[in-house]
A and B are shown apart, each in its own frame.
Chain A
């Protein structure tokens, strides 16, 4: 593979509220088994990219725990492998990463020491599956300086275009305009935060923008250079969701209940890999009902669960009823509880007879390790 990978996993979204008060968005648990960053890392590894940097900053402890070994993604290698970069203090600087471009610039020796021709940059906050080789081939074919992965958002999709980079392009796919988080989007094509660029050009651009005191990859490189450089759009047609709001997080998890979407990640090779947790098989006891739901291993179910996503080591007591909810790892739900449209963060304890009812638009969120009694 003639590319190295960079996964930007430093951000958190205020729109995720308490769910990201203790973790980076990239560490958000998805679909009973995964964390968001697993999708980007697996995509890299599955595309044959053997040298991948994950750049973290915000609340990175749980993310680091998850990445403590790279062997699950076949990236535990002598040559290349997985690099995790965090902000550091050095003789000439003592600040956090000032932006995405700065976060790459501060680790520019990773790029300088590589000899691969291209760099694939993606976000650790998105759920999707792609073979980057196709995008790189397209990048070579068009002779682009930067290729941006884009998607056309259909009129009826429940997406707010104003939170994305909006791309206008000509008939050949060359980007004619790019506007980050526009007030009035000029097209329905959005940037998916994944880019292909040659390594030497990226080094040159990073040096140039940081020199000018600019630090953001999207605003200061992609948007600012959109006309000066040859920027092309690569139209991605598969499943893609960014974990940029509570609603989006809820929807992604509920999407995993749909066979056609779940199968993309779990039945169609190559698979998305994650760190194994060595839990025993899930146990469904007499009297339990478990329908149209996902369950992680190590869980014990006595009550009734419908249309929900339950992670590992969840215990649901007798006669409790869970509907349309996301229950994260290690939650214990007592007897006779009723939970509808709720998101229970990890290790929440619900005592007997509790009632939690939210709506799909605004699910009730219970903070990590809360005891609801």
Chain B
């Protein structure tokens, strides 16, 4: 293999359990965002836009949709003869299989993959966030400081700092202490889970730590170990748009931010595009009686009804008389005639029948998962069917092909759950 200056390793194995049914059948990085995109498109596009052409994607939890989505990397121009995208799933070694037991352990198990490219530096990042970042600036900073590791950080509130990995630094950014979720944070610079390592240093550290912690983790073990060994660590400050979409509420809010007349996050600039797989892209059509106000509508949609404050993924059909308000409807969904949706997330490939109402009623949290569904948003899992003429409340979850026998008196009160086919909500 030709030598690469820096390659990227994307940690894409997480479940994202607080996204509830949205991650029942796929890993969090494969969850749709902003209509046509998936969450992983953001770090993937950042890589290619930063000039990184070799990307390893480490998958573990429900990798099927992720693998299909990434393919050989065509949408990101990462179909390369030398480098490109490689999916690195846990694999059997010797006579036993071995899962990735921690973030650093996952990289440890792929040392030979990285060695093939003999890189000077390795960029390690999570795939759970919505942001645009030029990693080459961070690399320049890393090279200038000649350090073992550079950690991207952002300023957070003191209250948020208690829930994150905090770096205490000298004024020039040199890190002297790392604290994971400190009760009394000394600084508000939180790690964004984006690291550049000098590969030689990281390689040694991974091998050393593997003997100590079988569940080796960057935040818990590797960074503290490098500091203890007197290696230089620097914090790279980032202050632009960065969002975690790890909960139903955050997911909904972050989607809705895109609809504002001047959104905080700009998808419409030509110099730093976000790429995604686009199978078939007909235009969007709006009917004679359609009414669309404040909405993001992807290609292939057909809107005959009313859509307000909502995000529609590709090929969504909103039939005559339907009213979609404050909702997120992902690709290939059909919304029936005169159906009313208010604060609903509908995952891809689902059908909602005619004359259905979803999102009206009191705000009772979901009875089965009150800590996941409690903000009034009802969620419909991918490839589900909601029969015609049913009334569904808030914080409800529907999964699978349901018929009216599943709804007592054609009604599902707030906080209710209907599942068919045994998918965990």
Contact B286 A292 (CB under 8 A): yes
Q: B74: CB under 8 A from chain A?
A: yes
B285 touching A262, Cβ below 8 Å:
yes
A280/B34 in contact, CB under 8 A: yes
Taking a contact as CB atoms under 8 Å apart, the answer to whether A283 and B259 are in contact is yes
Q: Does A112 contact B (CB under 8 A)?
A: no
Give B287's nearest chain A residue, CB to CB: A292
Residue of B nearest to A266 (CB): B282
Inter-chain contact B297/A280, CB cutoff 8 Å: no
Query: Which B residues, 246 to 305, have Cβ-Cβ distances below 8 Å to chain A?
Result: 259, 261, 267-268, 273-276, 278, 280-300
**Cβ contact within 8 Å between A32 and B287:** no
B31-55 interface (Cβ within 8 A of A) = 34-36
Indicate which residue in A273, A286, A290, A300 contacts B268 across the interface (CB closer than 8 Å).
A300
Given contacts A280-B34, A291-B287, A291-B288, contact A33 B297 (CB under 8 A): no
B57: CB under 8 A from chain A?
no
Instruction: Please report the C-alpha to C-alpha distance between residue A266 and residue B282 in the assembled complex, in whole angstroms.
Output: 6
Residue of B74, B286, B291, B293 with highest tally of chain A CB at under 10 A? B286
The residue from A278, A285, A295 contacting B273, defined by CB atoms under 8 A apart: A278
- Any chain A CB within 8 A of the CB of B312? yes
Nearest residue (CB) in A for B45 is: A278
Contacts of B287 in A (CB 8 A): 291-292
* A296 to B292 CA separation, bound complex (whole angstroms): 15
- Partner pick for A290 among B34, B290, B298, CB 8 A cutoff: B290
- Whether A257 is near chain B, meaning CB under 8 Å from some CB there, is yes
Complex Cα distance, B299 from A262, in Å, reads 14
Q: Given A266-B300, A273-B280, A286-B293, does the pair A281, B36 have CB atoms closer than 8 Å?
A: yes
Q: Is the CB of B296 within 8 A of A282?
A: yes
A124 adjacent to chain B (CB < 8 Å)? no
Residue of chain B at shortest CB distance from A293? B286
A257 to B290, CA, bound (A): 14
Encoded as 1 (CB less than 8 Å from any B CB) or 0, chain A from 20 to 41 comes to: 0000000000011100000000
Partner of A282, one of B34, B280, B294, B297: B297
Inter-chain CA distance A276–B77, complex, in Å, is 12
Cα A296 to Cα B299 with chains together (Å): 7
Q: Which residue of A lies closest to B282 (CB)?
A: A266
Residue of A nearest to B291 (CB): A289
Q: Are B278 and A278 in contact (CB under 8 A)?
A: yes
Which residues of the other chain, A, contact B273 by a CB distance below 8 angstroms?
278
**Which residues of B are found within 8 Å of A274, using beta-carbon distances?**
281
Query: Contacts of A297 on B, CB cut-off 8 Å?
Result: 36, 281, 284, 298-299
B286 touches A295 (CB 8 A): yes
Contact B267 A280 (CB under 8 A): yes
B300 A71 Cβ-Cβ under 8 A: no
Shortest B346–chain A CB gap in Å is: 16
Chain A residues with CB under 8 A of B295: 283-284
B residues within 8 A CB of A298?
Answer: 268
Q: How far is the CB of A336 from chain B (nearest CB, A)?
A: 18
Q: Does A71 contact B292, Cβ atoms closer than 8 Å?
A: no
Q: Is the CB of A33 within 8 A of B299?
A: yes
Instruction: Looking at the assembled complex, report how far the CB atom of B112 sits from the nearest CB atom of chain A, in whole angstroms.
Output: 29
> Which residues, 244 to 290 on A, are CB-close (under 8 Å) to B?
256-257, 262, 265-267, 271, 273-274, 276, 278, 280-290
Q: In the complex the two chains form, is A280's CB within 8 Å of B274's CB?
A: yes
Least CB distance from A38 to B in Å reads: 11
Assess A285 versus B261: contact at CB under 8 Å? Given A276-B278, A278-B273.
Answer: yes
Determine how close the nearest CB of chain A comes to the CB of B28; give it in whole angstroms. 21
B348 CB, min distance to chain A CBs, angstroms: 15
A158 to B313, CA, bound (A): 38
Contacts A291-B287, A292-B287 known; A281 to B294 CB distance under 8 Å? no
Max count, chain B CB within 10 A of own CB: residue among A33, A273, A283, A300: A283
Q: How far is the CA of A285 from the CA of B310 in the complex (A)?
A: 11
When the two chains form their complex, are residues B36 and A290 in contact, meaning their CB atoms are under 8 A apart? no
Report how far A257 CA is from B282 CA in the complex, Å.
12
Interface centre among A265, A284, A293, A295 (most CB of B within 10 A): A284
- Judge whether B275 and A280 touch: CB under 8 Å: no
What's the least CB distance linking B276 to chain A, in Å? 7
A280-B268, A281-B34, A286-B261 known; A291 and B290 CB under 8 Å? yes
Q: Would you call A288 and B293 a contact (CB within 8 A)?
A: yes
Collect the chain B residues with CB atoms within 8 Å of residue A296's CB: 283, 299
User: Which 5 residue pairs across A and B have the least CB separation, nearest first?
Assistant: A32-B283, A266-B282, A280-B267, A281-B35, A281-B298
Task: Pick 6 A–B contacts, CB within 8 A, sort by A.
Answer: A274-B281, A278-B274, A281-B35, A281-B312, A282-B297, A295-B284
User: Interface of A with B (CB < 8 Å)?
Assistant: 31-33, 71, 256-257, 262, 265-267, 271, 273-274, 276, 278, 280-298, 300, 309
Where the two chains meet, the residues of B that have a C-beta atom closer than 8 Å to any C-beta of A are 34-36, 74-75, 259, 261, 267-268, 273-276, 278, 280-300, 311-313
A sample of 14 more A-B contacts (CB under 8 A), given A282-B298, A284-B297, is A31-B282, A33-B281, A71-B74, A262-B282, A266-B283, A273-B280, A274-B281, A276-B75, A278-B275, A280-B34, A281-B34, A290-B286, A297-B36, A300-B268
